[in-house]
Amino acid sequence: QVQLVESGGGSVQAGGSLRLSCVASGYTRNAYCGAWFRQTPGKERERVANIGSDGRTGYADSVKGRFTISRDNAKKTLYLEMNSLKPEDTAMYYCAAVPATPAYCYTAYNQAQYVYWGQGTQVTVSS
């Protein structure tokens, strides 16, 4: 059974930084598409960033230039480095994964395209 466990959330002031981590267990393949989504109350879960097994990344326009997604296959870990945080970045952040080719990941923007999910980690940015 695949489990994803996020960590690294917290409270920071605007302009600050956080690094989220997502460790996978029960999954041995490196050919997967990994992503970070976020959700605020009353809104749909939105993709923040995703990364394919070829290392190609994609970002939501709202976080481009501020957030960086990366992966360490040896550690089975997905990361999200968040800099220049804004109050509007406040949300519950979820990591997600799906066994997939790199080509699949290029357009994997929707939560329905992912199979495995973490429990979420809260990020709160104060002004």
In tens, the pLDDT along 62-75 reads 999 999 999 999 99
What would the mean pLDDT of 29-34 be, rounded to a whole number?
86
pLDDT range class, residue 28, cuts 50, 70, 90: low
pLDDT digits (tens, 9 = 90+) for 70-100: 999 999 999 999 999 999 999 999 999 999 9
Q: Which residues contact 65 (CB under 8 A, 6 or more apart)?
A: none
Question: CA–CA separation, 116 vs 20, rounded Å?
Answer: 17
* pLDDT value at residue 29: 74
In this prediction, what percent of the chain has a pLDDT beyond 90? Answer: 92
pLDDT surpasses 90 at 11: yes
Question: CA–CA separation, 71 vs 51, rounded Å?
Answer: 8
* pLDDT value at residue 126: 98
